[in-house]
Amino acid sequence: MTSTPTDVRTLDNYVGGAWTPPAATEALDVTNPASGELLARVPLSLAADVDAAVSAARAALPAWRDVNVIERARRLFKLRELLVARTDELAASVTREMGKTLIDARAEIGRAIEMVEAACAIPTTMQGRILEDVSRGIDAETVRQPVGVCAAIAPFNFPMMVPFWFLPFAIGCGNTFVLKPSEQVPLTQQIVFELLHELELPPGVVNLVNGGREVVESLLDHPGVDAISFVGSAPVAKLVYERAARSGKRVQALGGAKNHMVVMPDAVIDKTVAGLIGSAFGAAGQRCMAGSAVVTVGEAHERLLEPLTAATRALQVGDGADSASDVGPVVSCEARDRIVDWVDRAVADGATVVVDGRATGEDLPAGGAFVGPTILTDVTPRMAIAQEEVFGPVLAIMRAETLDEAIAIVNGSRFGNGTSIFTESAPAVRRYRHDVEAGMIGVNIGVAAPVAFFPFSGWKDSFLGDLHAHGPDAVDFFTRKKTVTSRYFSSGQGTGSYFVEN
Ligand code: NAD
């Protein structure tokens, strides 16, 4: 809770086409993790605030679904232009509130824009199917219609991109939408909703409710919400999945991850090192696709370790807004302390620290949440550091003698988000792709996050639901199917008989 000066603004919600102060009485501080600077206060909205947003979204639904689909797509084209024009401002906002470097933040905005571009194809992708003559003179057709009021709940690590996994597809398909951003990073979506306001959508088509757990639980229980999209940690994903299903909602819940990168003896080492470093330490390890565990096969270990540790030691840690920084802070001092605890625990379990980022930050601004890239060896698959998501710049290295053994280690994880293999061997890739139990696979790619036109297809504890985020799944998730079987008699085919024909 906060005791902040009055000149720091408290954020509003956006409800029914207007910025609206919530009924909330409590607020949290939003800080810049590079410095501890107080940026704003985020209200902890109440059930009444959720109700206001859902009511506005419900009221807007009949008119919005009847706006023709080409016009809905045109609004998305306009949104794309507005986002492109404001890319620098949006990227600066992501860096300021979340900590990642500006290069990374710009890439994030680019990904969000790509989502809008994919959603601009809605007049094609939302088409149904028709089959003539399923019986004599009878046709069957399936049309897609919007699901209704759709709500999305976002994590802190992609303040811009994750809401855009859902928003453009949802409204493009004719739904109305309520977004709850992460209370740790609510500022970028304030800019986004200013841009959405410029689109002159009918009031209530898009709504923004700031807050934490109470907002989430109110959305999950609200009878006026038809579909829930959640992205966050695995325990909360499970809770959201179960509670939303209990009230009969359509739900997709994307959870945490432990992504393995397998390095074969024939890997091209310099490219592999670059891929591993970008994956493990980019965004300070706070990506759901971060490669946080390496499994070396055979002699790959000896070839890899020295160049990997040398390149890791050369990484510059600092404010993400400083172009000299390779790695920014983690999201908060609490997150930093938790990450340092993970490394301490791994050491107690028998791991060896070969690059130690625990003390990083002593020469950086006080109040910053810095923890440096860290590499651990002598890690075994049963250690907690090998099993659990650390969500920080910590890379655990394990060894396997064969590809089979490496695959068994990867498949021993309860998570199944992404994994990568580094090799020039097509048979090894074929084998890996076929046998590995994860939904997104990289071949000589450190972060194999699919582009907007393909689904973000995590497995196991990393995803609960049937339909994934973006790609063709987005249209399936944000529409429901109606199948019509029809015939007509006015074409002179009447028989004059009242008996039922089969
Ligand atoms: P989080 O689970 O703490 O929070 C996510 C959202 O849930 C936030 O909006 C938060 O307000 C809300 N929330 C938190 N606790 C809640 C509770 N008890 N009840 C109801 N709502 C609650 O996650 P985070 O720390 O913001 O984000 C990091 C996590 O997100 C990591 O585990 C990461 O792997 C995961 N993530 C997964 C994907 C994916 O595609 N699978 C993508 C991005 C992030």
To test the pocket of ligand 1, the residue of 42, 50, 156 to mutate (highest count of ligand atoms within 8 Å of its CB) is: 156
Cβ atoms of 158 and 46 closer than 8 Å: no
For 285, the token pair is 């390890």
- The residue whose CA is least distant from atom 11 of ligand 1 is 212
- The residue whose CA is least distant from atom 16 of ligand 1 is 213
Tens of pLDDT along 164-216?
999 999 999 999 999 999 999 999 999 999 999 999 999 999 999 999 999 99
448 phi/psi in degrees, rounded to 5 = -90, 50
- Mean pLDDT, residues 385-390: 98
pLDDT of residue 361: 76
Share of the chain above pLDDT 70, in %: 96
DSSP 37-72: -EEEEEE---HHHHHHHHHHHHHHHHHHHHS-HHHH
DSSP 201: P
pTM of full prediction above 0.90:
yes
Tens of pLDDT along 267-306?
999 999 999 999 999 999 999 999 999 999 999 999 999 9
Q: Rounded distance, CA 179 to CA 208, Å?
A: 5
3-state secondary structure of 227: strand
Q: Residue 254's beta-bridge partner residues?
A: 231, 463
User: Which residue type is seen at 274?
Assistant: A
- Mean pLDDT, residues 342-363: 94
ipTM of the complex: 0.99
Taken in order of first residue, the domains within the chain and their CATH numbers are 13-128+140-255+471-483 (3.40.605.10), 259-443 (3.40.309.10)
With bands split at pLDDT 50, 70 and 90, how would you rate the model's confidence at 31?
very high
3-state secondary structure of 79: helix
Residue 5 pLDDT greater than 60, yes or no: no
Tens of pLDDT along 206-252?
999 999 999 999 999 999 999 999 999 999 999 999 999 999 999 99
For 14, the token pair is 């956006």
3-state secondary structure of 358: coil
Residues 6+ away with beta carbon under 8 Å from 406: 262, 295, 297, 400
Q: Rounded distance, CA 92 to CA 104, Å?
A: 11
To test the pocket of ligand 1, the residue of 208, 217, 288 to mutate (highest count of ligand atoms within 8 Å of its CB) is: 288
For 184, the token pair is 């740790």
Residues 6+ away with beta carbon under 8 Å from 190: 11, 208
Residue 445 pLDDT greater than 70, yes or no: yes
Q: Rounded distance, CA 88 to CA 227, Å?
A: 32
3-state secondary structure of 286: coil
Pairing of strands 374-377, 149-153: unpaired
To which residue do tokens 């990073």 refer? 185
Helix boundaries (H) for 102-151: 102-119, 122-125
DSSP 453-486: TS-B--EETTEESSS-BSTHHHHHHTEEEEEEEE
Residue 76 pLDDT greater than 70, yes or no: yes
Cβ atoms of 231 and 165 closer than 8 Å: yes
For residue 157, how far is its CA from the centre of ligand 1 (angstroms)? 9
Report the first-to-last Cα separation within the chain, whole angstroms.
Answer: 70
Tens of pLDDT along 87-136?
999 999 999 999 999 999 999 999 999 999 999 999 999 999 999 999 99
Pocket of ligand 1, beta carbon within 6 A: 153-158, 162, 180, 182-183, 212-213, 216-217, 231-233, 236, 239, 254-257, 288, 389, 391, 417, 456, 458, 462
Cβ atoms of 64 and 71 closer than 8 Å: no
Strands lying side by side in the sheet with 479-486: 129-135, 138-146, 479-486
To which residue do tokens 């979340």 refer? 98
With bands split at pLDDT 50, 70 and 90, how would you rate the model's confidence at 1?
very low
Q: Rounded distance, CA 91 to CA 157, Å?
A: 13
For residue 151, how far is its CA from the centre of ligand 1 (angstroms)? 15
For residue 237, how far is its CA from the centre of ligand 1 (angstroms)? 7
- Mean pLDDT, residues 439-456: 98
**Catalytic residue ranges:** 288
To which residue do tokens 């607020």 refer? 27
For 432, the token pair is 């890996």
Q: Rounded distance, CA 387 to CA 346, Å?
A: 11
DSSP 12: P
Q: Please report the sign of the dihedral spanned by the C-alpha atoms of residue 214, residue 220, residue 222, residue 225.
A: positive
Cβ atoms of 177 and 151 closer than 8 Å: yes
Residue 7 pLDDT greater than 90, yes or no: no
